[in-house]
Amino acid sequence: MVNINFKSKIKKIMFTIAVVVIFGVILFPPLVLFLTSLKTEVDALSFPPKWIFKPTIKNYIDIFGDFALIKNLLNSIIVAISNTVISLLFGSMAAYSLARFKFKGSDNIAFWMLSIRMMPPVVAIIPIYIIMRNLHLLDTNWALIIAYLTINLPFVVWMMKGFFEDIPKEIEESALVDGCSVFDVFRKIAIPLVAPGLAATGILTFIFAWNEFLMALILTGTKSATLPVGLIGCMRETGINWGYMTSGGVIALIPVLIFALFAQKNIVKGLTMGAIK
């Protein structure tokens, strides 16, 4: 009996150590980012790094006094929200059609959309760049709002198709019998039933658009650069101003982390395109 007790105690200690190590390794790098964002330039550049210092919010004040970065932030918000709205609208309509009407080729269309998501973006970006150039859309927010549909539209279709298939058809069918049009059934019955799923999907599309860098780098210029591009831009021109970079990085992370908390339950489902629930 003593032996078993001893064994389980050792087991408990080992698990505790493991959990602490996992926590530490995951949280330490972002913590360094956050701490550096609160340091003065002198403190940030000192070696060995100062762990105890007088925190300052000067970097954040500087960032919000910088017109260029505010513009980047606004561009990011405009692009991410517009793209999310369009993706959700078009995507959930298509998903409803694919989930409810099993027409010839409906499965093929669904799989084709899934395969678009597997494609490396660098493959599509070259022709998209040339097309946007010909349409004179380069360096406008429209370029990204449209280009991000390649990522987010298939995502919404695939996710929402799963959510629609999870709700029973009977309510919608009885509404159809009562003479409702399919559009009304979709709008007034199906959408409210999948509302939580729609919200989680929307949060993820927002995060994807907010985080995206490669397309933004290529399709934007000074007028329409999003936050990731803006942050990298100030790294290039002036050498690295760590206060600026780190506080900008923290600002970029805030909406992502807040939204991620809301969509927690659906994040794994979303990131695996519904393969894992």
Partner 1 sequence: MKKVTLFFTPQRHKYVWFLLLAPALLSLIFIVIYPMIFSLSLSFHQWNIIRPGGWTLVGLSNYIEILFHDSYFYSSLKTTLIYLLGTVPIQFGLGLLIALILQNVTQKISGFLRTTLIIPTIMTPIVVGIIWRLMYNPDMGTLNYFLDLFHLAPINWVGMPNTALLSVMVADIWEWTPFMALILLAGLQSLPTEPFEAALVDGASFLQMFRFITLPLLIPTMLVALLIRIIDSFKTFDIIFVLTEGGPGRVTETMNYFTYRYGFKFFHMGYTSALSWILLMIVTIISMLLIKIFFIRRVIER
Binding residues for partner 1 restricted to 92-131, rule: CB under 8 A = 93-94, 96-98, 100-103, 109, 113, 116, 118-131
Count of CB atoms situated within 10 Å of the CB of 152 = 26
> Residue 258 interacts with partner 1 (CB under 8 A)?
no
User: In the set 63, 79, 200, 231, which binds partner 1 (CB under 8 A)?
Assistant: 231
Element (H, E) at 208: helix 195-211
User: In the set 8, 46, 70, 262, which binds partner 1 (CB under 8 A)?
Assistant: 46
# chain residues binding partner 1, by CB under 8 A = 94
DSSP designation for 24? H
Task: Choose between 167 and 217: whose C-beta lies nearer to partner 1.
Answer: 217
Question: And the tokens for 50?
Answer: 């100062």
> Residue 202 interacts with partner 1 (CB under 8 A)?
no
> Residue 246 interacts with partner 1 (CB under 8 A)?
yes
Name the segment binding partner 1 (CB under 8 A); options: 52-60, 65-73, 89-97, 192-200. Answer: 89-97
Residue 156 sits at φ, ψ, to 5 deg, of -65, -45
Structural contact between residues 209 and 141, judged by C-beta atoms closer than 8 angstroms: no
User: In the set 210, 220, 224, 266, which binds partner 1 (CB under 8 A)?
Assistant: 210
> Residue 79 interacts with partner 1 (CB under 8 A)?
no
> Residue 137 interacts with partner 1 (CB under 8 A)?
no
> Residue 85 interacts with partner 1 (CB under 8 A)?
no
3-class secondary structure, 49: coil
Closest CA to 221 of 150, 146, 137, 123: 137
> Residue 180 interacts with partner 1 (CB under 8 A)?
no
3-class secondary structure, 131: helix
Between CA 242 and CA 36 the distance in angstroms is 8
> Residue 144 interacts with partner 1 (CB under 8 A)?
no
> Residue 135 interacts with partner 1 (CB under 8 A)?
no
Q: Please work out, in degrees rounded to the nearest 5, the angle formed at the alpha carbon of residue 202 by the alpha carbons of 199 and 208.
A: 145
